[in-house]
Every structure is written in structure tokens, then in C-alpha cells.
Amino acid sequence: MNKIILIGNLTKDPESGSTQGGVNFTRFTIAVNRPFTNSAGERVADYFDIIAWRQLAERCAKYLFKGSKVGINGYVQRQQYEDRDGIKRTSFDVVAEEVEFLTPRSTVAGGGAQDGYTPNEPRQPISDMQPVDNDDLPF
């Protein structure tokens, strides 16, 4: 089984592109804090390279930015290649199957208004709500 779940923050803005076949992708790196500190009392982080494909890539490119907190559900993919000097190298990427945007909308540029939601918009007054009888609930 090849499954990975991570929660971390983007270290820089995502980079997008498309393959020669026209498939969209977005790459970004997240920093994930370890649950302990080092001997100097400093928090240690691990860095993971993430790649998202197709519609998920488009959403990531549109809504993520440096510092965004995300939850990633995906799998690890190993790549082997030769660098410019002919040396064989290996890299590991996390292929995102799901990305949960965890940064509050109020911190996103425009206050989240791009989704039609404004955090400070007036709420419906309680007096306008209809009472519900618990006996009518199906559970």
C-alpha cells in the first residue's frame, strides 16, 4: 500500500504548467513540522514536493499561495533521471489525490469573495428562522 497524508504550509507560490499532451499540473512544496524539537529547542520541519493533476491542479493554482495551510492525501512516486553531468539521480514526489485548503478564507486575498462568500456579510436574523420540532427529524 502506498498512501501518504500530510498537513503543512506552502514554502512558495505554486508553479503551474501542462504536459505536451495538454494535461494541466501544479507543483508546490510544503513544510511539515515534526512533533518534537531538536536539542536546541527549535522546531524541525520536513519538506515535501507535491504535484497535482488536471482539475485539482487548476484549483491549487487558483487558490493556493505561499504560506497556505493544506492537507494532502496521496501517494509517493519515485522518479529516476540523469542530471546534466550524466549522474543518475532519484527524486520522490507526493502525487496529490485530494487537497484540503485549510487556510481560513478571511486570510485569502479578497476575503474569500471569489467564491461568493464574504465573512462579514450580515447573517439572517434569528427571528426570521422557523422552529423545528425534534419529532420531525429523521434521526
pTM, two decimal places: 0.72
Q: Is the pLDDT of residue 133 over 80?
A: no
DSSP string, the chain: ---EEEEEEESS--EEEE-TT--EEEEEEEEEEEEEE-TTS-EEEEEEEEEEEHHHHHHHHHH--TT-EEEEEEEEEEEEEE-TTS-EEEEEEEEEEEEEE-S-GGGSGGGGGGGT--TTSPPPPGGGSPP--GGGS--
Cell numbers 501518504 correspond to 4
Mean per-residue pLDDT for 124-139?
A: 60
Tell me the per-residue pLDDT of 37-58, one tens digit each, with 9 for 90 and over: 999 999 999 999 999 999 999 9
Cell numbers 469573495 correspond to 113
What burial class does residue 30 get, using C-beta atoms within 10 Å of its C-beta: 0-12 exposed, 13-18 middle, 19+ buried?
Answer: buried
**pLDDT value at residue 113:** 40
Tell me the per-residue pLDDT of 28-38, one tens digit each, with 9 for 90 and over: 999 999 999 99
**pLDDT value at residue 42:** 92
8-24 residues labelled b (16+ CB within 10 A) or e (exposed): bbbeeebebeeeeeeeb
Rounded Cα gap, residues 100 and 6, in angstroms: 10
**pLDDT value at residue 104:** 83
Tell me the per-residue pLDDT of 56-114, one tens digit each, with 9 for 90 and over: 999 999 999 999 999 999 999 999 999 999 999 999 999 999 999 998 876 655 444 44
Q: Is the pLDDT of residue 125 over 80?
A: no
